[in-house]
Amino acid sequence: MAKTSQEFQALMERVLSGSEEAAEELFREYEPYLLHAIRRHLSKSIRSKFDSLDFAQDVWASFYTRFPGKVSFHSAEELFSYLTTLARNMVIDAYRRRNAQRRDGGREQSLDDSTRFDKHGLHGNQQTPSQILMTDEEWTVFLRKQPPVYRCVFLLLREGKTHEEIAGKLNISIKTVARIIDSRLPGGMS
């Protein structure tokens, strides 16, 4: 955080202009300090219930939705003060909500102390590691059988791209993307 005033102003101008590199630089520069400030405000009673990284993400989200054009920072210290105040307020709000729930009948109950549940019989609905591995093997076999363009479509789809993004990236029509997906996947995915 040892930026000169001119360097700080230049960085903030780049952030305001929408530069992703500047936003990443701002994040890298302030994230450790922000996490330290958050952890300092988290009491032991809620530390196990909340993750400081979640609070940090909320602070950055709030910063980027409120900041552009509405608040100007003249120094790195002003920005740091703003971010830590946001973080402190979010921690206080979480603590208040947590205490309000406690007064609301104590909704939480440890499964270890419960006689109503057999804790050894509780299982998650996530796939087991062997199921995930098998799925990856099946995916590899499936991709090998596809023509190159189809393979690209499915790889982009698995990355979470929309039909429009896939069409734009591969320079094909959206209907072609939908047709490829519908023709090759059971039940389609479009």
Token pair belonging to 75 = 């120094």
- 53 Cβ contact list (under 8 Å, min separation 6): 35
The single-letter DSSP state of residue 70 is: T
H-run or E-run covering 14: helix 5-16
- The packing angle between helices 52-66 and 20-41, to 10°, is 130
Confidence (pTM): 0.49
Alpha helices by DSSP H, listed for 119-190, are: 129-144, 148-158, 163-170, 174-184
Q: Which fold has domain 129-184?
A: Arc Repressor Mutant, subunit A (1.10.10)
- 95 Cβ contact list (under 8 Å, min separation 6): 43, 46
Below-70 pLDDT ranges, the chain = 1-3, 67-71, 101-124, 127-134, 185-190
- 8 Cβ contact list (under 8 Å, min separation 6): 73, 75, 76, 79
The pLDDT, as a whole number, for residue 107 is: 59
The pLDDT, as a whole number, for residue 190 is: 43
Domain extent listing, the chain:
5-103, 129-184
The pLDDT, as a whole number, for residue 168 is: 93
Q: Kindly report the CATH number that applies to the domain delimited by 5-103.
A: 1.10.1740.10
The pLDDT, as a whole number, for residue 69 is: 59
Measured distance CA(59)–CA(87) in Å, rounded: 6
